[in-house]
Amino acid sequence: MRSETGFDPDLYQRFPTQEERPAEEEEELRRIWCAPHGWEYLTVVNNNYVGIFYLGTAFLFFLLAGVLALLMRVQLAAPLMEVLPQATYNQVFTMHGTVMMFLFAVPMVEAAGVLLLPQMLAARDLPFPRLSAYAFWAYAVGGLAFFASLFVGLAPDGGWFMYPPYTSKAYSPGINADFWLLGIGFIEISAIAGAIEIIVGVLRTRAPGMSLDKMPIFAWAMLVFAVMIIIAFPSVILATLLLEIERAFNWPFFDAARGGDPVLWQHLFWFFGHPEVYIIFLPAAGMMSMIVPTVAKAELVGYRLIVLAMIATGFISFGVWAHHMFTVGLPPMTTGFFSAASMAVSLPAGIQVFSWIATLAIGRPRFNAPGLFVLGSIVIFVTGGLTGVMVALVPFDWQAHDTYFIVAHLHYVLIGGMVFPLFAAMYYWIPMVSSRAMSERLAKWVFGLMFTGMNVAFMPMHLAGLMGMPRRVYTYLPGSGWDMLNLISTVGAFLFAFGVLLFLIDLARNFRMAPGGGNAGNVYGAGSLEWLPTELYSTRSIPVVKSREPLWDDPKISDNVEQGRYFLPRSATGLRETIVTSPLLAEPQYVQIMPGPSVWPLVAAIFTAFFFLALTVQAYMFGLASGVITVMAMLRWLSETDRPIAQDEVDIGAGIMVPTYMTGPRSHGWWAMVILMIVMAMISAMAMFGLAFLWSNQPTFWTPPALLGEGAPIALGYGLVVAAAVSSRWLHRIGNNWAVAPVLLAGLAAPLLTWLDIRMWSAVLAPDASGQGAAVFAILSLQGTVAAIGILFAAYLGWRALRGLITPTRNSTLDLACLFIGYCGAQGLVGTIFTRAVGA
Amino acid sequence: MSNSATLKAALGGWPPAVLDPAGPYAEPITRLAWALLLGGTAVLLIVLAALAVALWGKPALRKRLGGDRTIWIGGVVFPGVVLTALLVWGLWLTGSLQATAARAGEMRVRVTGEMWWWRVTYLGERGETVIRDANELHVPVGQPVLLELESADVLHSFWVPRLAGKMDMIPGRRNLLRIRAEQPGTYGGQCAEYCGGAHALMGFVVVAHTPESFARWRAERLAPPPPVSGRGPELFLASGCAGCHAIRGTPANGTAGPDLTHVGARRSLGAGILPNNRGTLAGWIADSQTIKPGNRMPNYKQFSPDDLNALAAYMESLK
C-alpha cells in the first residue's frame, strides 16, 4: 500500500489496542467538551449544538414559506379572489421563493452537513467550529429580520430572481428591494463560510484510513456541494452588490438607456441560480444514497458511478444557466449549447436514480418511514426530471417558460429532489440526536398526505401552464378555463400541509435533544460511522476505517471505539482537538487544537446582521458602528487562536506521535484561506465579465479607456505587492528577523495603488454616467475593499509580531497575511490591465 | 358573438392553447410537445415498473436488476440515445422557428410592452409609423407577420400560445418574433414575464382577418377621422385625458397611455380584462383602480352620471 505523506500504513495494524484505558480519560474528554450553561449556552460552538440550531432554524423557514404558499393557494383557489391584495400577493410570492431557496434549502443542507459530517468522518468537530457558529447566527438573525419585513409591508416584490429594471430605483423606489439585496447578499456570505468549513472538514478531518474511495457518499455530496457554492455564490454576491449600488448611487449597470443592460443581471443571477438547484439537490441525493442501502440492507450499487455522477453534475451545472433565458433572444448557437448541456445534466441524475433502484433490487427493502420517503422521492423526482428534459428543448420552452408548467416542474424537482429526501433524512437521523425515535405509525400518514397532496397540488399545474396560465399572477379572470385546476391545486396544497402538520406533532411528541449521549441509537441498522456510540466529544476514540460500511463489516468496532482502542482515546493536549489527516488517503498528519465556546462569533454575527439591516434602512451611522464592532469582535475571536501550547508532539494512540501544529500548505488554515481567495477571485472575475459583457452589448456607449501605458506604474506596483508577500514567506523560512516587514509594507501600499488608479479613471469616466463607468468603478471598488481588508491583516500581523507571537514554528498568521496580501496584489494587477484592455 | 364571449374563447379554455396551434410557428412546437408528453409518460412508467420489480419482483428478476448494468442502461445508454435524438430535433426546430430579419414586403408591427398594456405600432416599408393602436393586433390570415418586440419600462414577454412561443421584451433591445394565423379568429395572449403590480391583468388579443376583412380594417384605420363635437369630446379635452391619450383628428395627442382613436372598436378594455361597451367604459373611467389595481390611470370620480355617460358614449363611438 502506497503512502501519501510518508505515514507507514502498517501502523494501522496496532489497532485496536489491547490494554485497558484509564477511566479518567473519558471523564477528562467530557469535561473538555462539555457545553456551557445558563446564558452562555448561546456561545456553544460544538457542531452537535450548532447543527441542531441550524437545522431547526432552516426548518422553521420551511414552515414559514410554506404558510406563504398556502396563502397564495387560497388567493388562487378561484378567479378574482380578494384574500391577498395585488401588492401583498406580489410580496408573498417573492418571499415564498426567496425564503425557500435562500433561507430554507441551502441552509438546511448546509446544516445537515454541520451536524452529520463530523460524526460520519469520526472527527470530533468541524475544523472551524467558531466559523460554523458565526455562519449560523448571522443567518438566523439576518434571516428572521428579513422575513419580518413582510409584516410591515416592506418585503421585496420583484420575484425571487429580482430582475431589473423592475427592481431598480425607478420602478421599485421603496426599500423593499434593498431588503432582498442586502438580506440575501449577506446570507450568501454565511453560506460561503459554511462551505469553506465543509470543504476543509471533508478533505482534512476524516478518520485515519478513510481514503476518498471509502468516504461516505454524503461526504462526497457535501464536498461537491461546497465547491459549487464557492464557484456559484460569488456571482450572485456580485449581482446583488451591483444592483444595490445602482439603487443607492445611481451607477447604471442594468440601465439600458445609459449603456447598462438588464440582461447582464440575468447572466450573473443564473450563473449562480441554476447551479443553486444542484447545490440543493446533491446533498439530498447524498442523503438518499446513505439511506437507500440501510433501507435495503445492501451495499450501495455503483458507488463509484454515483461519485462520478455527482462530480459531473457539478461540472455540467455551470453550463446550463442560460436555459432560463431561452426567451431573451439569444442566438440559436447559444441556446443550442445550453439546451444540450441541460439535457446532459439529466444523465448523472439518471445514474443516481437507477443505482438506488438497483440497490433496492439486491436488498430486502423495508417500508419504514425513511423507506417510504425515499420511494416517494424517486417517483416525484423522476417526474420532475422528465419535465425538465422537456423544457430543455428550446422550442418547447418558448411555450412553457414562465407559465405554471414551470411552476409544476420546479416543484416536482425540488420537492422530489430535496424535500422528500429531507423528510427521509429527518426520520433516519433523528434517532442519532434525539433520545426517542419518531413514530413509524404516524409516519405512514405523514407520507401518505404529503405524497398525495404534492401530486394533487402540482400535477394540474402542468395543464394550467399549457392552457396559457403565466406564473406570478395574483389572480385570473373567470372563464379562462383555469378555475377548476387551480381549485384542485389548492386542495392538494392543504393535504400536503396537513402531512407536515402531523410531522410537527410527532416531532413535538418524540424529539428530545440528546447531544451528550443517550440517543435512540441505530434503529435502522445502518453501517456508517455516525452510528458509533457518541457523546459531545463525538466518539471516545477515532477508529481506523477499512471499508465503506465499517459497522457492517466489523461488528466489534462500536465496542472497540467506546473502549478507547483506537486513535485519540484521550485528549492528548488537554484541549479540544481532532486529528487532521491527508486529503486523499486520510493519513494522520497532526493534531488540530480546536477552539471552544466563545461569545465573539455570536457578537460578530449579530452585528454583521445589524450592519446589513442598518444599510437597508439607511441608518448609516448605526451601520458604521455595527461594522466596526463586527470587525473588533472578529479580531478578538481570531486573537484567541494560533496560540503556542506546551507540547510540540503528542501520542495519538499506540505510540504514534504527530505534531500539534502545522504551518504552510499542509495546515487547515492555509486551505481555508486558499478557498476564500477563490471566492474573491470569482467575484472579481464576474465583475470583469460584466465589463466585457456591457462592452459587447452596448458598444455605442463606450469611451476609449484610460491608456494601458498610464496604468503601467500601478500594475508594476501591484506586482511588487505580490513579490513582497512572497519574499516575506521566504525570509521567514530562512530565519530572517525582519521577515514581517515586506508584507506589512505591501499591505499598506496596496490601498494607495487603488487610490491612484481611481484618480486616473476619474479623469476619463464617471461611475454614474455610463455602464462602462459603473463597471470599471465596480472593479476598482472591489479592489479597494480587498485592499482595506489587507490593511486589517497587516495591522493584525504587526500587532502579533510586536507581541512576539510570530515564532519560527508558529507563523500561521504570517502565512495567511502573505497569502491574502499577495492575492490582493494579483487581483489589482489583473484588474488594472483588464479595465484598460476592454474596448481599447 | 358578444365581445365577452370572444374574450373568453380567446384567453383560455379547452383544448389547452399550447396543444391547439393555429399557425405554422406554433404547430411544430405542438408536435414536439406531444412527443415529449407521451414519451415522458412512457419513461415514467418504465421507471415505475423497474421500481416495482426492485421492490416486489421475483428474486431472479430482482437479481438481474441489481447491478451496475442497470445503471449503465437506465442512466447512461438509454437517456443518451433518446436525448441525442431529441436534441437534434430541438436544434433543427429552433433554427427553423427563430425569427430572422424582415423579408421584403413583409408586414411589420412593433409591439412595445408598457406597465401594464401593449402599445401596437404598424410600420410601413421604411419602418415609419402607419397606424397606432393598443392591446390588439390585427393580422391577415395566411401571411407571416414580423413583430418587433420592445419595452418602454421593465421586462415583459409577448405570448400568444396558439400562434407562437413567447419572446421577451427588454429595454434597450429589439427582439423579433414571427407569427402567422391560418384561420380567421381571435387569439388570446398575456404578458408572461413578471412586470410588477398588475402583471396578472396584462392581456391582449390577436385578431386574424380574411384578406378582404383585413383590407377593410386597414382602410378604416388609414381614413381621416370624422369631425367630432359635443359634450363627450369637450369633457375629454377639458378633463386632462389628452395629457396621456391621443385621438387622431383632435388636439388630444398624449402618448403616455394607449392611443384612443379607435378605442370603441377594440374587443376588450383594460388590456384584455373587460368586455368593451359603454358601461364598462364608464366604469373604467370612474374607477379603473378597483378594476385593475395599480394601473397608471387615476380614477376620475368627479364626473356627474350624465357627463360620465357622455364621455363613455364618445369613447364607444370611436370605432
3-state secondary structure A14-50: HCCCCCCCCCHHHHHHHHHHCCCCHHHHHHCCCHHHH
Give the one of B63, B87, B273 whose C-beta lies nearest to A343's C-beta: B87
Q: What is the ipTM of this complex?
A: 0.96
Residues A456-468: what's their mean pLDDT? 96
Angle between helices A740-762 and A812-837 (to 10 degrees): 20
Contact state of A398 with B83 under an 8 Å Cβ cutoff = no
Report how far residue B54's alpha carbon sits from residue B66's, in angstroms, rounded to the nearest whole number: 8
Contact state of A351 with B173 under an 8 Å Cβ cutoff = no
- Tell me the whole-structure pTM to 2 decimals: 0.95
Task: Determine which of A72, A320, A386 to mutate to test the interface with B (most B C-beta atoms within 10 Å).
Answer: A386
Contact state of B54 with A343 under an 8 Å Cβ cutoff = no
Cα A775 to Cα A184, A752, B172, B303, distances in angstroms: 22, 21, 18, 52
pLDDT for B5: 40
Cβ–Cβ contact A802 with B under 8 A:
no
Asked if residue B4 has pLDDT above 60, the reply is: no
**Paired sense of beta strands A657-659 and A649-651, if any:** antiparallel
pLDDT for B6: 42
User: B318 and B263 in contact (C-beta within 8 Å)?
Assistant: yes
Q: Smallest CA–CA separation between B45 and chain A, in Å?
A: 10
The x, y and z cell numbers of residue B264, run together, are: 370603441
Cβ–Cβ contact A330 with B under 8 A:
no
The x, y and z cell numbers of residue A491, run together, are: 386542495
User: A482 and B12 in contact (C-beta within 8 Å)?
Assistant: yes
**Omega of the bond leading into A478 within 30 degrees of 0 (cis):** no
Average of per-residue pLDDT values in chain B = 92
Residues A423-445: what's their mean pLDDT? 95
User: A322 and A342 in contact (C-beta within 8 Å)?
Assistant: no
Domains in chain B, CATH or no CATH each: 1-66+99-211 (2.60.40.420), 231-317 (2.60.40.420)
Give the one of B37, B172, B196 whose C-beta lies nearest to A256's C-beta: B172
Most confident among A530-539, A590-599, B13-22, B188-197 (mean pLDDT): B188-197
Average of per-residue pLDDT values in chain A = 93
Closest CA in chain B for residue A161: B194
**Paired sense of beta strands B203-209 and B136-140, if any:** parallel
Q: Smallest CA–CA separation between B163 and chain A, in Å?
A: 10
Residues A442-464: what's their mean pLDDT? 97
Contact state of B155 with A262 under an 8 Å Cβ cutoff = yes
pLDDT for A706: 64
Cβ–Cβ contact A299 with B under 8 A:
no
Residue with cell 418558448: A398
* Percentage above 70 pLDDT, chain B: 96
Q: Tell me, what DSSP letter sits at residue A576?
A: -
Q: Which helix (H) or strand (E) holds A289?
A: helix A262-296
Cα A663 versus chain centre, distance: 26
Report how far residue B41's alpha carbon sits from residue B34's, in angstroms, rounded to the nearest whole number: 10
User: A212 and A268 in contact (C-beta within 8 Å)?
Assistant: no
Contact state of B171 with A256 under an 8 Å Cβ cutoff = yes
Q: Smallest CA–CA separation between B230 and chain A, in Å?
A: 36
pLDDT for B11: 53
| Burial (0-12, 13-18, 19+ Cβ within 10 Å), B89 | middle
pLDDT in tens, B89-145: 999 999 999 888 888 889 999 999 999 999 999 999 889 999 999 999 999 999 999
User: Higher model confidence: residue A77 or residue A812?
Assistant: A77
Q: Which helix (H) or strand (E) holds B251?
A: none
User: Higher model confidence: residue A661 or residue B237?
Assistant: B237
Report how far residue A569's alpha carbon sits from residue A771's, in angstroms, rounded to the nearest whole number: 61
Amino acid at A217: I
Residue with cell 488594472: A832
Cβ–Cβ contact A484 with B under 8 A:
no
Cα A305 versus chain centre, distance: 24
User: B25 and B179 in contact (C-beta within 8 Å)?
Assistant: yes
A136-140, A263-267, A289-293, A592-596: the lowest-pLDDT one:
A592-596
Give the helix, strand, coil percentages of chain A, each rounded to 5: 70, 5, 30
Report how far residue A541's alpha carbon sits from residue A537's, in angstroms, rounded to the nearest whole number: 10
Q: In terms of Cα–Cα distance, which of A219, A204, A212, A210 is closest to A566?
A: A210
pLDDT in tens, B150-205: 999 999 999 999 999 999 999 999 999 999 999 999 999 999 999 999 999 999 99
Closest CA in chain A for residue B68: A302
Q: In terms of Cα–Cα distance, which of B52, B50, B57, B56 is closest to A350?
A: B50
Residues A381-403: what's their mean pLDDT? 96
Q: Smallest CA–CA separation between A758 and chain B, in Å?
A: 29
User: Higher model confidence: residue A764 or residue A70?
Assistant: A70
Report how far residue B316's alpha carbon sits from residue A380's, in angstroms, rounded to the nearest whole number: 53
pLDDT for A617: 84
Asked if residue A158 has pLDDT above 60, the reply is: yes
Asked if residue B8 has pLDDT above 80, the reply is: no
Report how far residue A543's alpha carbon sits from residue A566's, in angstroms, rounded to the nearest whole number: 5
Q: How many CB atoms lie within 10 A of CB A662?
A: 19
Residues A756-785: what's their mean pLDDT? 95
The x, y and z cell numbers of residue A584, run together, are: 486523499
The reply to whether domains A43-510 and A674-837 share a CATH topology is: no
pLDDT for B113: 97
The CA dihedral of A413, A418, A419, A422, to the nearest 10 degrees, is 160
pLDDT for B1: 31
Asked if residue A533 has pLDDT above 70, the reply is: yes
pLDDT for A42: 85
pLDDT in tens, B210-244: 999 999 999 999 998 888 889 999 999 999 999 99
The x, y and z cell numbers of residue A182, run together, are: 442586502
Report how far residue B90's alpha carbon sits from residue B84's, in angstroms, rounded to the nearest whole number: 10
Cβ–Cβ contact A86 with B under 8 A:
yes
Report how far residue B23's alpha carbon sits from residue B183's, in angstroms, rounded to the nearest whole number: 8
Contact state of B71 with A386 under an 8 Å Cβ cutoff = no
Cβ–Cβ contact A468 with B under 8 A:
yes
Cβ–Cβ contact A246 with B under 8 A:
no
Closest CA in chain B for residue A365: B55
Q: CATH assignment of A674-837, given 1.20.120.80, 3.40.50.720, 3.40.50.2300, 2.30.30.90?
A: 1.20.120.80
B91 interaction partners in chain A (CB closer than 8 Å): 332, 336, 339, 394
Cβ–Cβ contact A699 with B under 8 A:
no
Cα A230 to Cα A102, A192, A237, distances in angstroms: 15, 6, 11
A365 interaction partners in chain B (CB closer than 8 Å): 54-55
- Res. B2 pLDDT band, cuts 50 70 90: very low
The x, y and z cell numbers of residue B286, run together, are: 370612474
- Res. A34 pLDDT band, cuts 50 70 90: confident
Q: Smallest CA–CA separation between A698 and chain B, in Å?
A: 9
- Res. A4 pLDDT band, cuts 50 70 90: confident
Cβ–Cβ contact A469 with B under 8 A:
yes
- Res. A116 pLDDT band, cuts 50 70 90: very high
The x, y and z cell numbers of residue A241, run together, are: 452588490
Domains of chain A, by residue range, sit at: 43-510, 674-837
pLDDT in tens, A663-709: 888 888 899 999 999 999 999 999 999 999 999 999 999 988 767 77
Residue with cell 422530489: A416
Upper half-sphere CA count for residue A630 (Cβ side, 13 Å)? 17
Report how far residue A81's alpha carbon sits from residue A68's, in angstroms, rounded to the nearest whole number: 16
Cβ–Cβ contact A406 with B under 8 A:
no
Report how far residue A111's alpha carbon sits from residue A2's, in angstroms, rounded to the nearest whole number: 35
Angle between helices A176-204 and A106-121 (to 10 degrees): 20
pLDDT for A806: 77
User: Higher model confidence: residue A840 or residue B296?
Assistant: B296
User: A282 and A306 in contact (C-beta within 8 Å)?
Assistant: no
The CA dihedral of A640, A643, A646, A648, to the nearest 10 degrees, is 140
Contact state of A309 with B75 under an 8 Å Cβ cutoff = yes
Q: Tell me, what DSSP letter sits at residue A545?
A: P
pLDDT in tens, B277-295: 999 999 999 999 999 999 9
Q: What is the 3-state secondary structure (H, E, C) of B131-167?
A: EEEECEEEEECCCCEEEEEEECCCCEEECCCCCCCCE
Residues A291-306: what's their mean pLDDT? 95
Report how far residue A758's alpha carbon sits from residue A835's, in angstroms, rounded to the nearest whole number: 12
Cα A429 to Cα A35, A114, A194, A519, B44, distances in angstroms: 22, 13, 21, 11, 30
Contact state of B90 with A467 under an 8 Å Cβ cutoff = no
B89 interaction partners in chain A (CB closer than 8 Å): 393
Asked if residue B3 has pLDDT above 50, the reply is: no
- Res. A755 pLDDT band, cuts 50 70 90: very high
Q: Smallest CA–CA separation between A761 and chain B, in Å?
A: 26
Residues B47-69: what's their mean pLDDT? 93
The domain made up of A43-510 has a fold known as Cytochrome C Oxidase; Chain A (1.20.210)
Cα A746 to Cα A678, A822, B228, distances in angstroms: 21, 8, 80
- Res. B7 pLDDT band, cuts 50 70 90: very low
Compute the C-alpha angle A72/A77/A79, nearest 5°: 105
Q: Which of residues 153-172 of A touch B (CB under 8 A)?
A: 157-159, 163, 165-166, 171-172
Report how far residue B134's alpha carbon sits from residue B272's, in angstroms, rounded to the nearest whole number: 10
Contact state of A479 with B11 under an 8 Å Cβ cutoff = yes
Beta carbon pairs, A and B, within 8 Å: 282
Q: Which helix (H) or strand (E) holds B209?
A: strand B203-209
Q: Smallest CA–CA separation between B77 and chain A, in Å?
A: 9
Asked if residue B29 has pLDDT above 90, the reply is: yes
Give the one of B11, B74, B197 whose C-beta lies nearest to A477's C-beta: B11
